[in-house]
Amino acid sequence: MSLSLCRRFICCVLGFIVCLHVVQAAGAETPVPANTTNGLLPAGSESDGSSVIYRLSPFDKISVSVYGEPDLSSEQLISDSGTAFIPLIGPVKVGGKTVNEASKLIEKAFKEQEYLRRPLVTISIEKFSPKKLTVMGEVNSPGSVEIPPGMNGMAIQIAIAEAGGFKNTAKRSEVSLTRAKSAGGEPSLVVANVDSILKAKASGQRVKTIQVHAGDVVFVPRRVF
């Protein structure tokens, strides 16, 4: 075989290999569409609330540091109204904000009040406030359930599990969640089909679930036989 033919043969083989890899890569990167039946999503979805960024809450203890300004650094206990007292600035509403959002808010206040031209604020959480909710009705250990430190809430089925799980008499498809609105507003009521959530998770799927928060009341009714 001549040198020219050998080169052509090698080029053809290399071209075939490259094309084969491209086709395989394209197939591997093709997204799998979500199964939206009953709100189900592929495993690994964050829609079950498992990867929620923490938001500052009343009675969290935070450390506020201002780069290059040690006199302005302080430790603060967030008030029941969600405010923290910042030296020179005064009260700043940080409740409901992420650490990054609260830092930017304080930086903005320093600039607007012309105390610092280019402030760099860092917030760290020294101690999380205790958070509890109530689970009542047809569960094995009704009463208060503590939300783990560093979390704003938990999935409703986890709260029920923390209360000892369902009794055999529980009506799992009609679990009610009552949440009081702020500023003395009317409480809201949500009815959750926890039975369908548990079945979806047992089959290896993620499902859009309901998050419960501090002060919420979960009630599991009795099943009528």
Same domain? For 89 and 149 the reply is: no
Q: Point out the domain boundary residue: 68, 98, 127.
A: 127
The residues of the chain scoring below 50 in pLDDT are 1, 3, 5-6, 10, 13-14, 16-50
Same domain? For 135 and 181 the reply is: yes
Is the residue at 17 inside a domain? no
152-173 tens-digit pLDDT? 999 999 999 999 999 999 999 9
Q: Encoding tokens for residue 154?
A: 């938990």
Q: Point out the domain boundary residue: 127, 153, 168.
A: 127
Where in the sequence is the domain holding 186, given as residue range(s)? 131-220
Q: Encoding tokens for residue 105?
A: 């808010």
Is the residue at 215 inside a domain? yes
Predicted local distance difference test score (pLDDT) of residue 185: 66
Q: Point out the domain boundary residue: 102, 127, 152.
A: 127
pTM as predicted: 0.69
Predicted local distance difference test score (pLDDT) of residue 20: 40
6-23 tens-digit pLDDT? 455 545 544 544 444 433
Predicted local distance difference test score (pLDDT) of residue 23: 34
Predicted local distance difference test score (pLDDT) of residue 225: 74
Same domain? For 87 and 117 the reply is: yes
Is the residue at 49 inside a domain? no
Predicted local distance difference test score (pLDDT) of residue 207: 80
62 contacts 95 by C-beta, under 8 angstroms: no
Is the residue at 60 inside a domain? yes
Same domain? For 80 and 105 the reply is: yes
Number of domain units in the chain: 2
Taking the C-alpha atoms of residue 133 and residue 142, their distance in angstroms, rounded to an integer, is 11
Residue 82's domain is classified under what CATH number? 3.30.1950.10
Q: Encoding tokens for residue 6?
A: 């050998």
Same domain? For 137 and 215 the reply is: yes
Predicted local distance difference test score (pLDDT) of residue 24: 38
Taking the C-alpha atoms of residue 77 and residue 22, their distance in angstroms, rounded to an integer, is 56
Same domain? For 147 and 69 the reply is: no
